[in-house]
Structure 1
Amino acid sequence: MRVELSRDYRFEAAHRLPMVPPDHKCARMHGHSFLVEVTIAGDVDARMGWLVDFAEVTRVVEPLLLGELDHRTLNDVHGLENPTSENLCAWLWARLAPELPGLLAITVHETCTARCTYRGV
C-alpha cells in the first residue's frame, strides 16, 4: 500500500525581502509564525504497518527548525539572504532530503492564506 504521510512543525522568525522595491511592505523587517509541512511518500512496511515513525521525522526536522531558524532573522541564515517562501522551501529540502528517504514535498505557510510547496528537482 502506497501512502503520503505529513507532519506539521512551527517556528517563529523575522525576515525582510531585499529584492523587492523599497516601498513594498515586505522590504521592511517583519515576522511570521511559520508552519512547515513535511510530506513523505512510500510503501507501508507490512510488518510495522507504517511508512515511517513520526518520531523519526521529528528527530530530523526539529533540530533544523528550532536550532537554525526559530526566533532568528532569516536573512542572517547562510543561504537565506533572500528568504522568500520559495527559497525557504528549497533550503529546507536541501537539508532534509538526505535524511528523510521518500521526501515528497515541503510546504511553508507564511500565513494561514499564503504558502509555497516545493517537490524537489
Structure 2
Amino acid sequence: MIIFKKFTFDCAHYLPKVPVGHKCRNMHGHTYHVTFFIDGPIDDNLGWVMDFTDLKNIVKPVIQQLDHAVLNEIPGLENPTAENLAVWLWNELKPAIPQLDKIELMETPTSGVIYNGS
C-alpha cells in the first residue's frame, strides 16, 4: 500500500551554473508543491500504513526550513535545481521515514521531478 501527503512552500532561488543571460540565473521565486509517498503494509491492528499526523510532524520542520527562504543559502542547496532540491529533501527525510518510497516535487504547475532515491 502506498499513502501520500502533500505540502506547499514558497521560496526564492537562482541557478548560478546556468549560462549568463538565462532567466533562471536571476533571483526568482516559486510556490513548490511536494508530495511524499510512503510504502508499507497496512498495520493489522491500526488499519493504516502510517499515521498522517506522524508524517506531517516529521516533514513539517524540514518544510519550514525552506519556506520563505533563499534556497541557495541552505547548506547543500547552493545549486538549487528542482532535481537537487528533491535529492536534498530525500536525504533530510529518509533517515526519519525509512518507508519513504518517492518524492514528487512540482516547481511550477507544469514542471517537476520525481525522485525515488536512485
TM-score bin, normalised by smaller chain: over 0.9
Report how far residue 101 of structure 1 moved. 2.2
Structure-1 residue corresponding to 2:52: 54
Describe the SS at the equivalent of 2:48: coil
Q: Does 1:74 align with 2:71?
A: yes
Structure-2 residue corresponding to 1:96: 93
Which amino acid counterpart does residue 85 of structure 1 have in structure 2?
A
Q: Deviations over 1:15-37 (max 9, x none)?
A: 01111011111111100001111
Which amino acid counterpart does residue 12 of structure 1 have in structure 2?
D
* Aligned-CA RMSD value: 0.7
Partners of 2:39 and 2:90 in 1: how far apart? 14
Q: Does 1:45 align with 2:43?
A: yes
Q: Give the length in aligned residue pairs.
A: 118
Describe the SS at the equivalent of 1:116: strand
Percent of aligned pairs with the same residue?
43
Where does structure 2 lack aligned partners over 5 or more consecutive residues?
Answer: none
Describe the SS at the equivalent of 1:11: strand
TM-score (normalised: structure 2): 0.98
Partners of 1:42 and 1:7 in 2: how far apart? 14
Q: 2:82 aligns with which of 63, 76, 85?
A: 85
Aligned structure 1 segments of 4 or more residues deviating by more than 2 angstroms:
none
Q: 1:65 aligns with which of 60, 63, 66?
A: 63
Report how far residue 106 of structure 1 moved. 1.1
Report how far residue 14 of structure 1 moved. 0.2
Partners of 1:42 and 1:52 in 2: how far apart? 8
Describe the SS at the equivalent of 2:62: helix
Structure-2 residue corresponding to 1:108: 105
Partners of 1:5 and 1:85 in 2: how far apart? 23
